[in-house]
Amino acid sequence: MSTTYWCELAWLGEGQGGVTAGVAVRVEGTHITGVEADTSPAAGWVRLPGLTVPGFANTHSHAFHRALRGRTHGDGGTFWTWRDQMYALAERLDPDLYLDLATATFAEMALAGVSTVGEFHYVHHTPDGRPYAEPNTMGEALREAAAVAGVRLTLLDACYLSGGIGEHAAGVQRRFADVDVDAWVERVDALPSTATCQIGAAVHSVRAVDPTSAAAVAAWATTTDAPLHVHVSEQRAENDACQAAYGCSPTALLAAHGVLGPRTSAVHCTHLTPADVALLADTGTSVSICPTTERDLADGVGPTGALRGAGVPLHVGTDSNAVIDPLEEIRALELDERLTSGRRGTHSPAELLTMATAAGQASLGWDDSGRIEAGALADLTTITLGSVRLAGADQADALGSVVFAATASDVQHVVIGGEVVVRDGAHLRLDVARALDRSIRAAWS
């Protein structure tokens, strides 16, 4: 099927002259076959008023956390007390509930302009820790959820072996933990990739995976040419435990065991030393920053200016899904840096959009997405310039206005792999608010 989209304004990527007017994007099947600027709309073309950018990549999500939104704030506390509430929710999940909740959550992401989600998946087993009859039942629920919601998925299956350094998994952690890394490999080997779902690997953290097992996960990712993600230094307590057990930081431990590298994304990296930053840069590792979660959980603010200065690629995720809005994530990344550095403009609007598009897609294994050009996957997200937030923006300042003022509510049209998923701000497959309401109420009933 052939379709031509006429973009009133389009951002064609860093180094492409900024925002271009009158861009015709020709699509055949799932990919873009041609891009032409300075055109006028022709009969039969689909008009996209506003600013069209490549589809966003959400590089770090835990879909079931969406049911925690608004329910974890009343008693204060820390990351660790929040974790207790998250564990209570994880105990309640079954495959049917997980399917419904993840479908609604992924559909909310589509409404926000996300074309690809990296789901960091660790709820693998039954509540007592035994594998399901089909060991990947929960992973298959996530795969089906993404297909129904219309988003592309990288299922980052997390190796999780212990409840802490030198500790057995206990309580709900037994749902997360495989017997050993060989059992993890056997289970993940049974998950095939498809045209819309790649299987990736994850090391949950240095708390949950010993260095030898983490190296085995990295070897699996290398052998299968899969993306590899790992939580790194989200909390100071993690750094302290790693230093006490191994005499080094989590970053140094992972580097010493071959876990870091160009296929690896380190998630959070909130509490890094200058030596850690240099290791990430030297190994070609990218970093997923999740500002809305990192501030919600009182994690802290990561050194994004230092990472950028060292040449470390950055991208963004929604993590706990307390907020699902890629525009807010990239905006927060720059604004948090302003708070810590006292300087404005460390990350330009074009750099921030690259984090949400091309850099993020590459970290999830979709190198042919994140750009509006011939040969790329046809992922288009159109943001209206007619809302109260964007009123007055024109071509000259559209990019900065969208990055620093637009929200997910301003996303009007979303094409994912050549298929229209969102039109005029509405998901074409689901009543997303109703689906969220139903699944969240079921999670707590």
The pair of three-digit structure tokens given for residue 400, joined into one six-digit string: 């900065």
Q: 319 catalytic, yes or no?
A: yes
Q: Let me know: does 24 contact 5? Beta carbons within 8 Å.
A: yes
Q: Nearest CA to 267 among 248, 280, 252?
A: 280
**How far is residue 330's CA from residue 356's CA, in Å, rounded to a whole number?**
7
10 Å CB burial of residue 355 (0-12, 13-18, 19+) is: buried
In the chain, the amino acid numbered 25 is V
**How far is residue 188's CA from residue 165's CA, in Å, rounded to a whole number?**
23
10 Å CB burial of residue 284 (0-12, 13-18, 19+) is: middle
Helix axis angle, 398-405 relative to 326-341, nearest 10°?
Answer: 90
**How far is residue 106's CA from residue 348's CA, in Å, rounded to a whole number?**
28
Q: Given CA atoms 14, 17, 18, 19 in this order, what sign does their dihedral have?
A: negative
Choosing from 257, 268, 413, 427, the catalytic residue is 268
Alpha helices in 201-316 (DSSP H): 211-224, 236-246, 250-256, 274-283, 291-296, 304-310
The pair of three-digit structure tokens given for residue 305, joined into one six-digit string: 């200016």
Phi then psi for residue 82, to 5 deg, are: -60, -40
Segment (H or E) for 115: strand 114-121
Phi then psi for residue 114, to 5 deg, are: -80, 125
**How far is residue 379's CA from residue 142's CA, in Å, rounded to a whole number?**
21
Choosing from 319, 325, 336, 410, the catalytic residue is 319
Q: 427 catalytic, yes or no?
A: no
Task: Give the strand pairing for 411-416 and 419-423.
Answer: antiparallel
Q: What distance lies between CA 255 and its chain's CA centroid?
A: 23
Sequence-separated (6 or more) residues with CB below 8 Å from residue 431: none
Q: Let me know: does 115 contact 416? Beta carbons within 8 Å.
A: yes
Active-site annotation, residues = 268, 319
